[in-house]
Homo-oligomer: A and B are copies of this chain.
Amino acid sequence: MYMSPFTFLMCVICIASLGYGANVMAFEPTSTSPSKLPPWSQVEDTDPDPDPGETTQAVFTLNYPRIQIPFEITLWVLLASFAKIGFHVYHKITVWVPESCLLISIGLIVGGIMHSLHEKPPAVLTSNVFFLYMLPPIVLDSGYFMPTRPFFENFGTVLWFAVVGTLWNSIGIGISLFAICQIEVFGVKDITLQENFLFASIISAVEPVAVLTVFEDISVHEQLYIVVFGECLFNDAVTVVLYNLFNHVAALEVVEAGDVFLDIGRFFVVGLGGTIFGALFGFVTAFTTRFTGKVREIEPLIIFLYSYLAYLIAELLDISSIMAIVICALTMKYYVEENVSQRSCTTIRHVIKMVGSVSETLIFFFLGVVTITTEHEWNWGYILFALLFALLWRGLGILVLTQIINPFRTIPFNFKDQFGLAYGGLRGAVSFALAFTLPDSIGRKNLFITGTIVVIIFTVFIQGITIRPLLKLMNVRKTNRNQETINDEIHKRLMEHTVAGIEDLCGQWSHYYWKDKFMKFNNRILRKILIHDNHPESSIVALYKKLELQNAMEVLDQMSGDISAAPSLISLQYVSSTSRPVLLFSEVFETV
C-alpha cells in the first residue's frame, strides 16, 4: 500500500505530539490533577528557581497539570482529525480499505509505541466516557440523518431483525459455546452457561458505522441499507437488556422463572420507555425552537442540548438511551428545520456530522490502542469457536429470519440481499465497550475481552475489506435513486395518495393509510403547536428550497475569480421550469 508523503508527515506529527503529551505526563505524574489553586501561585511553587538570591519570578514558567485535561483531549481529537485528513489526501486508500481498518491500524501502532514506552493508555478510555460522551454523537448523527421514508416503510423488518435476530444470535452462540466448554481439552470448563450467554450477548451487537460507509459508497439498494441501518440502531436496546440480564444472572446461583418474566417486562420498559421519552423530547425541542426567532445564534445549541439531555436522562432512568436520542432526533428534525434559519440548519447538520464523525474516528482509534495495552488471556479453542459461531449463527439467523419475513414484504429479500445482510454484520464499538464494562467478578473477564477484540478485528478487517469487492462481484441490487429531483418527489406523493385512496376503497389498511392519517393530524394540530410561521408547506416546496440552496452554494464554491463564468441563471431555470408545475401539483394534492 502506497503511503503518501503527506500521510506519513501527518502521522509523524501526530505521534510526535502525542509522545510529547505522554512524556510531559510522565515527567509530571497525573496525580497532581488540576487543583483549584490559582495558576500563578502554583507556578511559583513548582518552578525551579534559576537564581534564588535575587528573584523568585522567572520569565518562562510551566504548569502542565493545570491544562492537562483539555490539552490532551484537544490533542487526541486533533490526532483523529489528522488521521482522517491523511487518509483522504489520496482517496485511493479509503476506496479499498475502510477507514475503520486504517484507524484501528494507527491505533495499534500508537498502542505499540505506548506499550514499548511502558505508558498506560489514556485514563479517559472508560466505559463511562464511551457511553456518556462518545456514543451519543454517533447515534445522534445516525438518527438525524436517518432516511425517514424508507425507515418507516421497513419498520417491521427492522424490528424483526433487531429483536429476534439479536436474541437468536445471543442464545445460539451462548449454547454452542457452552457445548464447547464441556470439551475437556480446551481447558475452559469453569465457564458457566450464564457467562457464556453474557459473552454471546456482547458479541451479538452488530455495529452500523463500518458497514454503512461501505453500503453508502457502493450505493446498495435502499431496502438493504435501511434494514442494516435500523437493525444496528435498535439491536442496542436488545443487546444492553440481554447484557444486563446475563450479567445479573451470571452472579446468581440458581436462575428462577420470576427473573425471566421480570426481564421480559424490563425489555418492553427499556425499549418503549426510550421511544416515548425520545418523542417527548423531540416535541419539546421543536416547541422551543418556535421562540428562537430573535436569538438565531443559539438555535443549534438547543438541538444539541435537548438531544443530549434525552440521552442522559434515559441513561439515568436505565431505559434505552440510544432509542431515546434516535427517536428524539427523528421527531424534532422535521419541525426544527422549518423553525430555524437556513444558517442554523446548515450548522446543525454540519456539527452533528462533524462530532459524530470525530467520535467514530476516536473510538476505532482507541480500539486499536487498547488492543495492545490491555491484558489478554488467550485460549485458541474458545476464541476461534466464538468467532466461528458468531459468523455461523449470524448467517443462519439471516437465512431463517428472511424466510419468515419475506412473505410479508412487498419487495422480498433475494439471496444476494441475504448475503449482504449476513456478511455486513460487523461487530464494533458497542461490543468493545460492553466487554470492558464486564464486572471483575467474572473469572474469565480477560478471555472475554480478548475474544471480543478478536471478533471485532476479524469482522472489521476481513469482512470490512472484502465486503466491497464481494458485493460488487455479486452485483447486489443498487439504489435506483441517484439524485433527488422535484419530479421524483411529485410522483411519489401522487402514488402514495392514490394507493391510500385505493386501500380506503378496498377496506385494507396498510402503512399508507396510517401515514395519511398522521399527515392530517400533523397538519391540523402538531404543526400549529410546534411551528412558528405555520404556512402550509408541502414536502415538494421543502425539497425545492433544499435544492435551490444547494445549488447556490455549489455555484459560489466553484466560481473563483471569474464570476461571469458562473451565472446565477441556474436558479432562474429552476423557478421557471419546475416551481410553477410543482405548485399546481401540490394544489391538486391538497384537494385530494
Residues of chain A touching chain B, judged by Cβ–Cβ distance below 8 Å, are 6, 34, 36, 38-41, 43-44, 54-57, 59-64, 66-67, 70-71, 74-75, 77-78, 81, 84-85, 88-89, 91, 126-128, 131-133, 243-244, 247-248, 256, 258-259, 262-263, 265-266, 269, 288, 291-292, 294-295, 297-298, 300-302, 305-306, 308-309, 312-313, 315-318, 341-344, 346-347, 350-351, 353-354, 357-358, 437-439, 533, 535-537, 541, 544-545, 548-549, 552-553, 556-557, 559-564, 567-569, 571-572, 574-575, 579-580, 582-583
Q: Which residue of the partner chain B has the closest CB to A94?
A: B294
Contact A269 B60 (CB under 8 A): yes
Q: Which residues of B contact A541 (CB under 8 A)?
A: 561, 563
Q: How far is the CB of A48 from chain B (nearest CB, A)?
A: 14
Q: How far is the CB of A284 from chain B (nearest CB, A)?
A: 10
Q: How far is the CB of A306 from chain B (nearest CB, A)?
A: 8
Contact B305 A78 (CB under 8 A): yes
Contact A341 B292 (CB under 8 A): no
Contact B308 A128 (CB under 8 A): no
Contact B70 A40 (CB under 8 A): no
Q: A437-B39, A549-B556 are in contact. Are A295 and B537 (CB under 8 A)?
A: no
CA distance A132 to B400 in the complex (A): 56
Q: Which of B41, B85, B243 contacts A292 (CB 8 A)?
A: B85
CA distance A301 to B353 in the complex (A): 11
CA distance A306 to B347 in the complex (A): 19
Q: Which residues of B contact A358 (CB under 8 A)?
A: 298, 301
Q: How far is the CB of A444 from chain B (nearest CB, A)?
A: 16
Contact A559 B572 (CB under 8 A): no
Contact B347 A351 (CB under 8 A): yes
Q: Name 6 extra pairs, CB < 8 A, besides A91-B294, A571-B572.
A: A56-B248, A71-B313, A300-B351, A537-B560, A549-B552, A569-B572
CA distance A305 to B292 in the complex (A): 28
CA distance A341 to B557 in the complex (A): 6
Contact B579 A70 (CB under 8 A): no
Q: A60-B318, A315-B67, A316-B67 are in contact. Are A55 and B343 (CB under 8 A)?
A: no
Contact B563 A57 (CB under 8 A): no
CA distance A127 to B63 in the complex (A): 15
Contact A312 B354 (CB under 8 A): no
Q: How far is the CB of A213 from chain B (nearest CB, A)?
A: 13
Q: Which of B269, B318, B552 contacts A552 (CB 8 A)?
A: B552
Q: Which of B131, B298, B567 contacts A39 (CB 8 A)?
A: B131
Q: Can you sample 18 A-B contacts with CB below 8 Å?
A: A38-B439, A40-B243, A41-B439, A55-B258, A67-B316, A71-B312, A74-B312, A81-B305, A85-B295, A297-B353, A301-B354, A343-B553, A537-B560, A548-B552, A549-B553, A563-B582, A568-B568, A572-B572
Q: How far is the CB of A5 from chain B (nearest CB, A)?
A: 12
CA distance A557 to B535 in the complex (A): 12
Contact A71 B316 (CB under 8 A): yes
Q: How far is the CB of A144 from chain B (nearest CB, A)?
A: 13
Contact B564 A265 (CB under 8 A): no
Contact A563 B575 (CB under 8 A): yes
Q: A127-B39, A560-B535 are in contact. Are A259 and B57 (CB under 8 A)?
A: yes
Report, nearest first, the 9 A-B pairs whose CB atoms are least far apart: A568-B571, A88-B294, A552-B552, A347-B350, A38-B437, A535-B560, A563-B579, A342-B553, A535-B561
Q: Which residues of B contact A262 (CB under 8 A)?
A: 55, 57, 59
CA distance A313 to B71 in the complex (A): 8
CA distance A78 to B301 in the complex (A): 8
Contact B291 A6 (CB under 8 A): yes
Q: How far is the CB of A190 from chain B (nearest CB, A)?
A: 21
Q: Which residues of B contact A64 (CB under 8 A)?
A: 316
Q: Which residues of B contact A536 (CB under 8 A)?
A: 561
CA distance A458 to B279 in the complex (A): 46
CA distance A59 to B245 in the complex (A): 11
Q: Which of B256, B306, B437, B537 contacts A561 (CB 8 A)?
A: B537
Q: Which residues of B contact A91 (CB under 8 A)?
A: 294
Q: Which residue of the partner chain B has the closest CB to A36?
A: B126
Q: Which residues of B contact A66 (CB under 8 A)?
A: 128, 132, 315-316
Q: Which residues of B contact A248 (CB under 8 A)?
A: 40, 44, 56-57
Q: Which residue of the partner chain B has the closest CB to A562?
A: B583
Contact B535 A563 (CB under 8 A): no
Contact A128 B34 (CB under 8 A): yes
Q: Which residue of the partner chain B has the closest CB to A131?
A: B39
Q: Which residues of B contact A315 (CB under 8 A)?
A: 39, 66-67
Contact B59 A350 (CB under 8 A): no
CA distance A394 to B81 in the complex (A): 47
Q: How far is the CB of A245 from chain B (nearest CB, A)?
A: 8
Contact B55 A342 (CB under 8 A): no
Q: A74-B305, A552-B549, A557-B342 are in contact. Are A316 and B63 (CB under 8 A)?
A: yes
